[in-house]
Chain A
Amino acid sequence: MLRKVLLSTSLIFALVGSINLSAAKDAVPLADDPVTEQRLIVISEEMRCLVCQNESLAGSRSDLANDLRQEIRILIKAGKTDEQIRSFMVERYGDFVLYRPPVKPITWLLWIGPFVILLAGIIGLLVYLRRRNLSAPSTVLSKEDNARIDALLKDAKANSTENIS
């Protein structure tokens, strides 16, 4: 009985230990060179992790993301510009790796589409408002109406001055 308990606890400890180990393996991005790391973060935050597609390359713990960050480190140390590193990634994985899609014919709709829809909405609204104004019943009053209003206003004025005094 005791042996069983001991065995299972040691097994649990071994398991926990291995979990900690694997977590420790993931958290090693801070390398010797802080300048390189800074650039790596800036570049990889603008890129998508291919495996877990809703995470950035900077934030992902996937194996491939680790490898790619390592690859970018090597490119930075080799003196490549950010632009060269970006095209290195695009050559392999396509525009999909970029969080900011480039402006080109196939993405025109993506870039200007919302503005076109906004503009269409504004134009539509203006046209609608103008039509509504034009079709609203005329508010021009007849002579008699005006005379009545004047009389009523005069009356009201006279009444109010009386009340105050």
Chain B
Amino acid sequence: MKAKFLIPLVLFVILVGFLAVGLSRDPQELPSPLIGKQAPAFKLPQLNDPTKTFSPESMKGKPWILNVWASWCVACREEHPVLVELGKLQVAPIIGLDYKDKREDALAMLERQGNPYLLSAVDANGRVGIDYGVYGVPETYVIDKAGVIRLKHIGPITMELLNKKIIPLLGQLQ
């Protein structure tokens, strides 16, 4: 009979639990349905030399990073130094996907802030971005040897994320 008084308390604790989980989640961040699937294929001209193209197939056999960026995107400028650091570590090649950008602006940004990319592919109209489910630049994908997407990060990469998640994951994938 005494236990009856505990019912509201238990309900309250359950409610608080739900609210706590709800509050600790980032509503901007969606789980990508692409994780665990093959990275969509594409063939795009390269930023440095538009006569050459890039396809993800050419990266098969080693883990790599696909970073969607644009010179008009403020958060990309913010994350750029982190990418430059990552590039210096040489743990994996970083491929840029220059999203809906002007060629000269993109080149100017790399000139100014350094170029961490092995190369950048130009997605001028954002069509490849749609296949990758891009909805906000920057976005970063970690793709394994077999071409399967293993991680997607939306928003700028921080040093912390790099050290805690991306570099360990790349180590596993090697």
Residues of chain A having any CB pair with chain B under 8 Å: 50-51, 53, 63-64, 67-68, 71, 90-96
Assess the A93–B133 pair: CB atoms within 8 A.
yes
The segment from B26-34, B85-93, B113-121 that touches chain A is: B26-34
Question: 22 A-B pairs, CB-CB below 8 angstroms?
Answer: A50-B135, A51-B135, A51-B136, A64-B135, A67-B125, A67-B130, A68-B130, A71-B127, A71-B130, A91-B33, A91-B34, A92-B33, A92-B130, A92-B131, A93-B30, A93-B33, A93-B133, A93-B135, A94-B30, A94-B33, A95-B33, A96-B30
4 tightest Cβ-Cβ pairs between the two chains A and B: A50-B135, A92-B133, A94-B33, A96-B30
Closest B-chain residue to A92, C-beta based?
A: B133
With a cutoff of 8 Å between Cβ atoms, the chain B residues found around residue A71 in the complex are 127, 130
Assess the A67–B136 pair: CB atoms within 8 A.
no
Residues of chain B having any CB pair with chain A under 8 Å: 27-28, 30-34, 100, 125-127, 130-133, 135-136
Closest A-chain residue to B130, C-beta based?
A: A71
Give the distance to chain B from A162, nearest Cβ to Cβ, in Å: 57
Interface of A is mostly: helix
Give the distance to chain A from B27, nearest Cβ to Cβ, in Å: 7
Closest B-chain residue to A66, C-beta based?
A: B126
Given A51-B135, A63-B100, A92-B130, 18 more A-B residue pairs with CB atoms under 8 Å apart are A51-B136, A53-B27, A53-B28, A64-B126, A67-B126, A67-B130, A71-B130, A90-B33, A91-B34, A92-B131, A92-B132, A92-B133, A93-B30, A93-B133, A93-B135, A94-B30, A94-B32, A94-B133
CA distance A94 to B31 in the complex (A): 7
With a cutoff of 8 Å between Cβ atoms, the chain B residues found around residue A53 in the complex are 27-28
CA distance A93 to B125 in the complex (A): 18
